[in-house]
Chain A
């Protein structure tokens, strides 16, 4: 099953490679990984999406907790939570495609953030399934380039992950 795990860790050089190294050394999967400093610059927040049985996920969270740089670990999937991913996608937009692309972007609540006479660059935010649905809705040959951030996650309501 897919799990979204949030990790709060020291913003130290090498901390990220410890997390990544743990996954590869123990044969766990990384579907997506995002990381950036928090409002407190000494801390980084990392979201990792992984797939595994309950036993594997339990081991992953235990091993993450074992890392000396890791302050807190939460499996967001255990409770109500919000997931978002950002995609920037450059599409061909020539002739009658221009209007069609604009309409598709509107339907998916994307924003066109860069325009040339041959292309649009669209910014799209949402859950992974929505992003995928947008890609699937386009003619493959119209897609010039995509870049996705991977999932960021946060607990719903009063649940907070901080020290």
Chain B
């Protein structure tokens, strides 16, 4: 059958099972939008800024494990999308971004709305393509989806010149499951048997075992396997910011998040274990602090990761296992169970280790001074957790509120906590909520944000109105760029350079003008009733503007460049 390029794009998206496309039209993609007008396979969501389209597609993927899709026009459409693409790239999110390009004959002539899309996006995509001939279009689209979702996932961009979208060629529907053979790309799935055996032996000999997991467990849907393994080992488990929900936070074996704002018990256990099992995590600077300090305490490390370049990048490991986390864990569990009887772990040592962990936990490092007067931001998150039964999808922006959300909302399930971990992009919260709600209609969605972050994509209140999206936005309003202010207080002699948010809008009036519900909460006693009321308004976006304690800091804290156990537990440690 003969189709034009635009129709081929639409057909390929339908073949991949895409049900939502987030985008914004423009000159170079008009044929594609015309084809979208004539189809009913997927819904197009019109955002108000291309950055938000990409964030929404990203969160759609994070909360569902489907490939997110965004569609933008050439030039500024692409440059606006770059922040979203880089955000997804840093967190390894499978996504396909389709961009329009000026007609082939005009490429390189500095045409209107032209930019070197493939060049600009190259460092922040897993792969990208410029389609030069309509005959290559269908195959390129299929490759894009295959590359995005396999191996270490990531965003893939397909740049399509306008003339390609109107040219015709024969279209052959896809056969099979969409897996493509490429001689230059064959991701590893299964782990090396011998390495897994070595790892199991090491784990069985451990006296102070520790399990440390990251986003890889979430991305490969390996939470059930992780839970089973931790159960078998009886070891303490920590999840990074990207890995929260990988292991149930309500389980006693969970010791909280590690790292710069991790718990005392998680950081101490990371440092003092004798065997560390790292799963789908990459020993990030925010997680282990100074690698030299981390290496001072001897421990053996087993590292499971799908990306060989993540292994021995910052920390030398003893047993590397390259493979898909879910497959490797399944095999590891089988071997662990079969070797367990002949090599029983040292139960007395494990009991002693737990005793030690419990003394660290007894420090209760997340306690904070409650106040009747000022609203404590931590209290707002705790109440949100209580009221939603710990079962909401929670998106956040970036800063103090993000850390409080990660510390005080106890995630029991994967894919519920949606945030920008790697790139740390302010402004993701609201568009993330849009993507999450599109992927999970009927679920409770909360945005934990600050008065600074929310303004970075506040135009999306309009998109939420158009599509009747109803996230509950909890704005922890401290009239400061809180995390910047905290660092300035601690490291820059309290010189609060440009970290004060002046001339804030009246958020209640602002959201009302978009047709949403706004509330301003200034007293501790009003926090709980306000959140309850907001969640009763099922079909409405409710913006809760919490006027919080201005100078609250995030504790514990490991200062940048310091060792993981050099923790400040509160202002008394300054």
Contact = CB atoms under 8 A, between A and B. Distances in A.
A7 to B, nearest CB: 11
5 contacts: A14-B122, A21-B122, A66-B309, A69-B127, A163-B183
Nearest to A63: B309
Contact of A68 (B184, B307, B312): B184
Contact of B312 (A18, A58, A65): A58
Contacts of B122: 14, 17-18, 21
Interface of A: 9-10, 13-14, 17-18, 21, 25, 55, 58-59, 62-63, 65-66, 68-71, 163
A71 B309 contact: no
A106 B118 CA distance: 49
B126 interface: yes
B412 to A, nearest CB: 34
Contacts of A18: 122
A21 B309 contact: no
Interface of B: 118-119, 122-123, 126-127, 130, 147, 152, 182-185, 307-309, 312-313
Given A17-B119, A62-B308, A63-B309, A68 B183 contact: no
A21 B309 CA distance: 16
Contacts of B309: 59, 62-63, 65-66
A48 B134 CA distance: 35
B396 to A, nearest CB: 28
Contacts of A14: 118, 122, 130
Chain B facing A: main interface SS: mixed
B291 to A, nearest CB: 12
B123 A68 contact: no
Nearest to B132: A13
Contacts of B184: 9-10, 68-71
Contacts of A63: 309
Contacts of A55: 312
Query: Is chain A's interface secondary structure helix, strand, loop, or mixed overall?
Result: helix
A38 to B, nearest CB: 13
Given A17-B122, A163-B183, A68 B127 contact: yes
Contacts of B147: 68
A21 B127 CA distance: 13
Contacts of B119: 17
Contacts of A59: 309, 313
Given A58-B312, A62-B309, A68-B182, 5 more contacts: A14-B122, A17-B119, A65-B309, A66-B152, A68-B126
Contacts of A69: 127, 184
Nearest to A69: B184
Nearest to B152: A66
Contacts of A21: 122-123
A66 B312 CA distance: 15
B312 to A, nearest CB: 7
B132 to A, nearest CB: 8
Contacts of B127: 68-69
B309 to A, nearest CB: 4
Nearest to A9: B184
A65 B126 CA distance: 12
Closest 8 CB pairs of A and B: A62-B309, A68-B127, A71-B184, A62-B308, A68-B185, A25-B123, A63-B309, A10-B184
Given A10-B184, A25-B123, A55-B312, A66 B307 contact: yes
